[in-house]
Each structure stands twice: as structure tokens, then as C-alpha cells.
Amino acid sequence: MWIFSLECMDQDCLLCPTGFAANTAAIVAIGKVGSLLASGSKPLKHEKIAIFSDALNHASIVDGIRLSGANVYVYRHSDMTHLDLILNNY
């Protein structure tokens, strides 16, 4: 069982029964940071988090990315040249 502490030195936590659930929850939380920092009620395109994802990431990570609402950029599996190209065009 995975446990993510929400605050240091506090008893609040999020319990995830599986690694799949833990991955999905963590990625969704990262992607939602843009919503917390947005100046309005809904983040503008430039205020959203950008996630750069390997094409063969595990389904739990892919699901988390989709649910996060982040801007997603997928590069070919283990192709750092393709990732570099996407990053330079970002």
C-alpha cells in the first residue's frame, strides 16, 4: 500500500490500495497545480502544467495525465532526440 503525506509533520495522508491508484493520483495532483495557480477560476492555456510523456508509459501514468487536464506532449519511446525537438518547439 502506498502512502503519500499531504503535509510534513501532520497526520493527513492519502492511502492508495495499489501502485496503479498511487501513480494515477500523483500525476493528477501534479497536473492540477496549474488550476491552483491560475489567476481566474479556470487556468488559461499558458497557465496549465505541461507534461512530456514517453509513448510507452504505463497505463496508470497515461490515465493520470488524461485526468489531470495538463497540456500533454508525447515523444517516441526512449527517443531523446524527439523529446529534445518537442521541448525546443514548446
- pLDDT-derived band at 7 (thresholds 50, 70, 90) equals low
Give the pLDDT of residue 37. 73
Do 14 and 25 touch, CB atoms closer than 8 A?
A: yes
Task: Give one DSSP letter per residue of 25-37, joined into a string.
Answer: HHHHHHHTHHHHH
- Rounded CA separation 17/2 (Å): 7
User: Comparing 3-7, 60-64, 66-70, 73-77, which segment has the lowest mean pLDDT?
Assistant: 3-7
Cα angle value 48/7/45 (rounded, 5°):
5
Give residue for cell 492540477.
Answer: 32
Question: What's this model's pTM, rounded to 2 decimal places?
Answer: 0.72
In CATH, the architecture of 2-89 is: 3-Layer(aba) Sandwich (3.40)
pLDDT of residue 1: 46
Q: pLDDT-derived band of residue 8, with 50, 70 and 90 as boundaries?
A: low
Contact predicate 34/12, CB 8 Å: no
